[in-house]
Chain A
Amino acid sequence: MKKIGQGEQEKKHFKEFVSLILLFFVFTVYLFISPFNAYALDVPPLKGYVNDYAGMMSPSVRARLEKELKAFEESDSTQVVILTIPSLKGEVLEEYSIKVAEKWKIGHKGKDNGVILLVAKDERRLRIEVGRGLEGRLTDLTAGRIIDMAIKPRFKRGDFDGGFIAGVHAIIDATRGEFTADTKAPQVKKKEASPIWTFIFFAGVILVFLGRFSKIISGVLGAIGLPLLAFFIFSPPIITLILLGILGLVIGLVFPMFFGGWGRGGGTSSGWGSWGTHGGGGFDSGGFSGGGGDFGGGGASGDW
């Protein structure tokens, strides 16, 4: 009677172990996929040059501006993007605006030539956020005047279409000539691979290498390495570390065996290619994206 109870308890413990490992794995994956999910007011996805989430423009104007801004980027490489949102939901306009800038990364890396025209419909507030590279041409003052003179009067009359057109034209006029488009084909944007992947890749190579000499060494290293790696990323409780150690031991023992076979076949290198580019995720398939432009809070705000 007692013995059966004990057996069941062990079973239960084992189940807990397994589910803990699974949970941990899921958590890890989650951490990698969605690092910033806790914003009060989320930054909407970048759809194109005109992101009219508040529905303030007529379709024809939207298409026209989209075309004009595309042509402007093709000739000058400067990216001007419009975002309208229905409401700020209590957030400060300037803080939200820099958040959008940091997320979308409008403008090209190194040139930092992005401009965001942000309009919050309910609050009747708007802002021109200027990338660092354009601060010389489109100064806070110029941005302020564009808002005051080109956009505001039209918005006040309820002429949103006219306001957007006038505003965009003024922004284009102010920034034209500051940058020119590169003649070479646009390069594929690559985010830097996370150091963790380098680390894992490195550990993998070493494991395979050592596995040829001794399974014990690679096993021990796996048992130490995996919890250590986990420790760097987030300091998990000690029990998880021990579990990871066991997992690492298994990986350390088994992993080299896979490659051991291939290695003798002379095909080791083919397996590695994908590692280096891991983490270099592209943007959404829409074909338009920011290019890594940096913003430092320049620009101007206004209301109507």
Chain B
Amino acid sequence: MRRFIIVFLFIAILGIYGCGYNTMQQNEEKVKEAWANVEAAYQRRNDLIPNLVETVKAYAKHERETLQAVTEARARVGSIQVSKDMIGDPKAVAQFQAAQSAMTSALSRLMVVVERYPDLKASQNFRDLQNQLEGTENRINVARTRYNKAVQEFNTSIRIFPNNITNKLFLHLTPKEPFKAEPGAEKAPQVKF
């Protein structure tokens, strides 16, 4: 009898260690944390835009269209929020990504335009903004890469045996959506000057 209890205890303990219950939970938290960083990085970029638009406007009065595109893209980005609990939803993530990449391309168009205004490019104010914008783009890249890594780890951990059984029985976690590479996004710091 005693022997059976011991065997049962052993299997139970082995089960907790081996079924991946904890691992999957931990990985999900990591994904959420990484997502928070992604959002923060994008938000940071968004916060820079009004200042940038004002600065450019002061020198480049004739570029109203380009500036407007940036402002509109910013408004659209602001209206799409993806909370931590929605990162399992491919549609929400795709929408978020579309809005942000529209922002990216509007910004890079603006930066092309800026080339035509040497006075603007030379102004300290604009150079400072450049630095901040570059830094922010880089942060976005880093946050995205780390998010994708966390997602990949999580998605793997809920699919492998025996975690998948544990997941089906207890956790019901669904795969998370990674960022997909956009055409041309490999050279993301297009906002290079």
Q: Which residues of A contact B (CB under 8 A)?
A: 92, 94-95, 98, 139-141, 143-145, 148, 199, 202-203, 206, 209-210, 213-214, 217, 221, 225, 228, 231-232, 235, 295-301
Q: Which residues of B contact A (CB under 8 A)?
A: 3, 6-7, 10, 13-14, 17-18, 20, 37, 41, 127-128, 130-132, 134-136, 138-143, 160-161, 189
B132 A140 Cβ-Cβ under 8 A: yes
Q: Which residues of B contact A94 (CB under 8 A)?
A: 138, 141, 189
Distance (whole angstroms) from the CB of A245 to the closest CB of chain B: 16
Q: Can you add 8 more A-B contacts, CB < 8 Å, to A141-B135, A144-B127? A: A144-B134, A199-B17, A209-B6, A221-B10, A231-B161, A235-B161, A297-B140, A301-B138
Residue in contact with B139 in the complex, picked from A199, A202, A209, A296, CB distance below 8 Å: A296
Distance (whole angstroms) from the CB of A228 to the closest CB of chain B: 6
Distance (whole angstroms) from the CB of A22 to the closest CB of chain B: 26
B131 A296 Cβ-Cβ under 8 A: no
Residue in contact with A206 in the complex, picked from B3, B10, B138, B143, CB distance below 8 Å: B10
B143 A296 Cβ-Cβ under 8 A: yes
Q: Which residues of B contact A296 (CB under 8 A)?
A: 37, 41, 139, 142-143
**Complex: chain A residue closest to B144, CB-CB:** A297
Distance (whole angstroms) from the CB of A114 to the closest CB of chain B: 15
B127 A148 Cβ-Cβ under 8 A: yes
B189 A141 Cβ-Cβ under 8 A: no
**In whole angstroms, what is the CA distance A169 to B161 when docked?**
54
Known: A210-B10, A221-B10. A297 touches B142 (CB 8 A): yes
B138 A299 Cβ-Cβ under 8 A: yes
A297 B10 Cβ-Cβ under 8 A: no
A143 B131 Cβ-Cβ under 8 A: yes
Interface centre among A140, A148, A202, A231 (most CB of B within 10 A): A140
Distance (whole angstroms) from the CB of B32 to the closest CB of chain A: 16
Interface centre among B127, B128, B143 (most CB of A within 10 A): B128
Pairs A–B under 8 Å by Cβ, sample size 30:
A92-B189, A94-B189, A98-B142, A139-B132, A140-B132, A140-B134, A140-B135, A141-B128, A141-B131, A143-B131, A143-B135, A144-B127, A148-B127, A202-B13, A203-B14, A206-B13, A206-B14, A213-B6, A214-B3, A217-B3, A217-B7, A232-B160, A296-B41, A296-B139, A297-B41, A297-B135, A297-B138, A299-B138, A301-B134, A301-B138
Known: A94-B138, A94-B189. A300 touches B14 (CB 8 A): no
Distance (whole angstroms) from the CB of A296 to the closest CB of chain B: 6
Known: A140-B132, A202-B17. A297 touches B141 (CB 8 A): yes
Distance (whole angstroms) from the CB of A132 to the closest CB of chain B: 10
A300 B134 Cβ-Cβ under 8 A: yes
Known: A94-B189, A144-B128, A213-B3. A300 touches B10 (CB 8 A): no
B131 A297 Cβ-Cβ under 8 A: no
Q: Which residues of A contact B41 (CB under 8 A)?
A: 296-297
Where chain A touches its partner, the secondary structure class is: helix
Q: Which residues of B contact A300 (CB under 8 A)?
A: 131, 134-135
B14 A298 Cβ-Cβ under 8 A: no
A145 B131 Cβ-Cβ under 8 A: yes
**Complex: chain B residue closest to A147, CB-CB:** B131
Interface centre among B128, B131, B134 (most CB of A within 10 A): B131
B135 A299 Cβ-Cβ under 8 A: yes
**In whole angstroms, what is the CA distance A213 to B9 when docked?**
14
**In whole angstroms, what is the CA distance A140 to B140 when docked?**
14
Known: A213-B3, A221-B10. A144 touches B143 (CB 8 A): no
**Complex: chain A residue closest to B146, CB-CB:** A296
A235 B160 Cβ-Cβ under 8 A: yes
User: 6 closest Cβ contacts across the A-B interface?
Assistant: A140-B135, A144-B131, A297-B142, A297-B139, A297-B138, A141-B131
Q: Which residues of A contact B14 (CB under 8 A)?
A: 203, 206, 225
Q: Which residues of B contact A235 (CB under 8 A)?
A: 160-161
Q: Which residues of B contact A203 (CB under 8 A)?
A: 14
**Complex: chain B residue closest to A129, CB-CB:** B138
**In whole angstroms, what is the CA distance A112 to B34 when docked?**
17
Q: Which residues of B contact A221 (CB under 8 A)?
A: 10
**In whole angstroms, what is the CA distance A92 to B137 when docked?**
14
**In whole angstroms, what is the CA distance A143 to B139 when docked?**
14
**In whole angstroms, what is the CA distance A143 to B140 when docked?**
18
Q: Which residues of A contact B127 (CB under 8 A)?
A: 144, 148
**In whole angstroms, what is the CA distance A39 to B144 when docked?**
19
A140 B136 Cβ-Cβ under 8 A: yes
**Complex: chain A residue closest to B9, CB-CB:** A206
**In whole angstroms, what is the CA distance A209 to B7 when docked?**
11
